[in-house]
Amino acid sequence: MRKRATHQDQAADVNITPLLDIVFILLIFFIVTATFLREKGIDVRTPEDNEDEPDTTPPPALVLAIQEDGFVRVNNLRQIDPGSVKPTVQEFMAREPNGVVLVSAAPDSESGVAVEVMDQAQDGGAAAVSLALQTQQ
């Protein structure tokens, strides 16, 4: 068998100019046809922006703390029965029409007592009643 003559002096030459032309044409096409949307982000207000607004104070609050034994402590001053929350809230709302009622339940208290206290507070005329869980210390 005879060996075929190989030409070592001829190297394969790859011309990538048409490939680069096509890439640049596609790049220009995608840039021109792209639509840029202005998305709404988070409105950040720094303290300098709020100089015109007057200082707001939180509304007065009546704190009703439900204890483990089922009794309710009013502003950590006196202890009442859950059934007598309505007159206490009515008295508070007469003094503070814009006031809010905060019900703070102990972790070991019964949920029925918390529901009863919240119902009594709403029946007493409280516009806003919030429920929170007391932290154990």
Convert the pLDDT of each residue in 30-64 to its tens digit. 999 988 777 777 777 776 755 566 667 888 899 99
Flag whether 19 is in a domain.
no
CATH of the domain at 82: 3.30.420.270
- Cα–Cα distance between 137 and 134 in angstroms, integer? 9
Number of domain units in the chain: 1
Q: Which domain holds residue 88?
A: 61-133
- The whole-model pTM stands at 0.58
2 located within any domain: no
**Is residue 18, in this structure, part of any structural domain at all?**
no
Which residue carries 């011309």 as its tokens? 15
31 occurs within a structural domain: no
* Tens digits of residue pLDDT in 73-103: 999 889 999 889 999 999 999 998 888 999 9
Residue 77 lies in a domain: yes
Report if residue 14 sits inside a domain.
no
Greater pLDDT, 44 or 125: 125
Percent of the chain with pLDDT over 90: 38
In a domain, 98, yes or no: yes
CA-CA-CA-CA torsion for 40, 43, 49, 54, nearest 10 degrees?
120
pLDDT value at position 50? 53
